[in-house]
Structure 1
Amino acid sequence: MLFRDDLKQKKVVQINVPHKKNMMCLNESTLDPFPILKEAFLKKMQKVHLNRYFNDISQSLLLKLSDYAGVKKENLAIGNGADELLYYIFTAVRNNAKDWALSLSPSYFDYKSYTAAVGMNIKFLDLDKNFDFNQDNYLKLCEDDNCRLAILCNPNNPTGNLFETEKILEIVSKCKKLVLVDETYYEFSGVSLAKYIEKFPNLILVRSFSKSFSAAGLRFGYAISNK
């Protein structure tokens, strides 16, 4: 076989979405607030040499982003949307077909898509009626040798609630695996674990400009982690 046998049972992961007036399931903004940005972009494009490969991430962009996030620019990685960064993270932790990631349910639906794309399995711990979970049960699942990644979406999508910072930090400190905290909706809560990345080398945060900045079409995401 030229490709993995399990690919026959998997759907192709599509980044593009149907064109509709309002995509509520994706939490798209109904406003397009960037006429000034578009003008600046078109002006900048006049100086871009499209025949040349892209050189490097703009240092001025990294500096502005580090100032906004309150971290050093060395702690940042930029991607074409948070989804690209999620895919890279899943690819990096996957060793063999027995590996799996741990997530909560319900949570962001594409965690399952990206684990499948890289040949990983995914297991879920169900939220209770208050949209919360037991960290001891979560940690017990993390102890499995084949668990390679622990995922927590905070604020959680689609339930919209925040998990206690102390609870997440307990998981990060006790879990011996990489802990991915998806902070795509960070701006709606103002609560972040960014100040803890130097303390925990197994902590990585992912954020996006798609939601609170109304810029889903810009495809701009970034990760924050211990360098």
Structure 2
Amino acid sequence: MSLPPTRWELGGPANEGYGRKFGELVASGEDVDGEARLADTLLPRRGRVLDVGSGMGRVAAALSARGHDVVAVEPDPVLAEQSRRTYPDLEVLPLDARTLAADALAHHGRPTSFDLAVLVGNVMVFLAERTEREVLRRVRDLLAPGGRVLVGFHLHGGPPTARRYPADEFVADVEASGLRVRLRAGSYELHPPDDGYGVWVLSRDDAPHVSTTVGHPNPIGTAEG
């Protein structure tokens, strides 16, 4: 099946700076574990994690080092190869978020339900046009009972091919995909929401919980601008 190009693929050679930048940060000992620290707090010990669009592997490797069972999926062969060089113990599956399903994971001998799915590092704004809801639905279908989704991306000001994805449009896509916002913040350190970067914790819409916005007393049914 032929898939339309993702916004990431449309970036072409300009994408090379992403992996190189984080590879240099890792090599220099810089802290690149912010997303993983928050993800770790959302997980039981030895939890099952699906890292969608795992890139050069830094989040998946950090969660694996914390004792979790991590499945990293990355369709970009350049990023996947860098991940293998930087984190040789981390297996990377060449699966695309748009076709991700339990049977594909089972084919590779990996779990088919997860305590947490991670879509950070601007994965959502680099998807192919009009595939956001499909990806969110596929992720929802792979959540274990009580499972959650951690999402983070720049709301504007990203690379030229990235989507400008306002918070209210993202929440509309979340709700149309059978998910619900449980928390919104402005960073992985849970600063209050702002207009620059969005971090969300999602769960299935049939999971009981009370949603909240960091720094705001009211639950969120829709995101605030």
Q: After TM superposition, is the score higher than 0.5?
A: no
TM-score (norm 1): 0.42
TM-score (norm 2): 0.42
Which fold has the larger relative contact order, with Cα–Cα distance below 8 Å and residues 6 or more apart in sequence? 1
